[in-house]
Chain A
Amino acid sequence: AQSVTQLDSHVSVSEGTPVLLRCNYSSSYSPSLFWYVQHPNKGLQLLLKYTSAATLVKGINGFEAEFKKSETSFHLTKPSAHMSDAAEYFCVVTSYGGATNKLIFGTGTLLAVQP
């Protein structure tokens, strides 16, 4: 079975400092991994995805993530946080059951950005 674990439920950083949101996955085959962001009262927006191409994936708004198979990790990073980055972030793995391409969500990490 596939699963993801987001290691921090809350992360607080100061504006202009680096962001690290941690995610570990479990999968019985080569997974597809995603990071989604959800701003307050908004839908989910795709930040980036890994689908067995380059292990370092660049996404929108300066975010990137590195797929590390040996560590079963897919941590999200950004060199310099902006106030507008404050949101909830979800690490996601796909689960192929028959013909269904389900997304299995982590429990989310709430990012706060202090001025």
Chain B
Amino acid sequence: GAGVSQSPSNKVTEKGKDVELRCDPISGHTALYWYRQSLGQGLEFLIYFQGNSAPDKSGLPSDRFSAERTGGSVSTLTIQRTQQEDSAVYLCASSLAVTSSGNTIYFGEGSWLTVV
């Protein structure tokens, strides 16, 4: 597609339920990122995938959060037993392979998650 595509765009879920958020990166981009944007707290790095390498999970806030990337393309972020503090916008981004020249990272429009 032309840009990074995320679904759902909006999700309201009950506390304790699991949610899955999907990201379809730009075709040909091997690097994929998940960020979280909470109200008043800026953007927080969650996880990074690059090709077939082991993902960098250093930003995941707890073991309730996990992500996978199948076939080097589509990624799914899963939040188990959701809590109210998980309410945020979850942004996916992609870029060409990492180099030292600062490849542009392109963002999707985000999945707005509300836990009630």
Contact = CB atoms under 8 A, between A and B. Distances in A.
Interface of A: 32, 34, 36, 42-46, 49-52, 90, 94, 96-108
A62 to B, nearest CB: 19
A39 B37 CA distance: 14
A49 B4 CA distance: 19
Nearest to A9: B40
Contact of B45 (A43, A90, A99, A103): A103
Contact of B100 (A96, A104, A105): A96
Chain B interface extent, by class: 20 to 34
B71 interface: no
29 contacts: A32-B102, A34-B104, A36-B107, A43-B91, A43-B107, A43-B109, A43-B110, A44-B91, A46-B104, A49-B102, A50-B102, A51-B101, A52-B101, A90-B43, A94-B102, A97-B58, A98-B56, A99-B56, A100-B50, A100-B98, A101-B98, A101-B103, A101-B105, A102-B48, A102-B56, A103-B35, A103-B105, A106-B42, A107-B42
Contacts of A42: 109
A108 to B, nearest CB: 6
Contacts of A49: 102, 104
Nearest to A30: B100
A109 to B, nearest CB: 11
B72 interface: no
Contacts of A100: 48, 50, 56, 98
B26 interface: no
Interface in B41-66: 42-43, 45, 48, 50, 53, 56, 58
B101 A105 contact: no
Contacts of A44: 91, 93, 107
B67 to A, nearest CB: 14
Contacts of A103: 33, 35, 43, 45, 93, 105
